[in-house]
Amino acid sequence: MIISIKALLRGPRHFDFEFDSDLWGDRDANDQILGLEGPLNVQMTISKEESNFVVEGRLSGGIRLRCDRCLDLYSHELRPEFRLFLSSSPQDPDQREIELCEEDMAVRFITGDEIDIDDIVIEQIYLSLPIKFLCGEGCNGLCPICGTNLNRGKCGCPEKNGHPAFLKLKELDMD
C-alpha cells in the first residue's frame, strides 16, 4: 500500500488492515522462511513530528519457518510492536538531534513524496525474527550419522560425544 505524504500533513493517520500472505511471495530464496500463515493484521499510526514522520504499529499473525536443528517446518507467532522515524532528507538539521536523544529508535529515509507501507511491514517482520530458528527449546535435531529426526524417536545409532545441538547441519551429507 502506497500512501502520499501530503495526506499525512493534515494529521495523524491510522491504518488497520490485513496484509495478504500472497504479498510475501518468493521473498526468501534459502528456504528458511516459507511465508506467512494467512493474512497478517497490521495496525499502524503515522504522524508528523517536526519535519519527520513517526510510525508506530504492531503486527499480528504467523509465519512458517524451517527449524535450524531438525529442518522441520514450524509456525512462529509474529507479534512485533515497533516505532520508527521516517525522515525525508538525510541532510535534515534535526537529524542529529534525533540520533542523540533517541539512539535506540530506527530512522528510515524516504525519497519522493510517497511511503510504501508494505516495505515497512516486511522489514518489521524480518527484524522480529529470532536469530536462530528453533521449533522448540528442546529440539533434539537430527542424528549426525543417519539423519533421523530425533524429535520423533531414537534411531539406534551408537551415541556420539557432544550434543546434537552443536551439529552443523550445513555440513551434513544428506544423500
Residues that bind Zn ion (CB under 5 A): 67, 69-70, 135, 139, 143, 145-146, 148, 155, 157
Closest distance of CB 164 from Zn ion, Å: 10
Question: CB of residue 67 vs Zn ion: minimum separation in angstroms?
Answer: 3
Nearer to Zn ion, 5 or 167 (CB): 167
The strand ranges marked E within the chain are 2-4, 13-19, 33-36, 40-49, 52-66, 73-78, 81-87, 106-109, 114-116
Q: Closest by alpha carbon to 57, among 87, 81, 77, 40?
A: 81
Q: Which C-beta is closer to Zn ion: that of 111 or that of 161?
A: 161
We find the least distance from the C-beta atom of residue 146 to Zn ion, in angstroms, to be 3
Q: Which is nearer to Zn ion, 55 or 142 (CB)?
A: 142
Q: N- to C-terminal Cα distance for the chain? A: 44
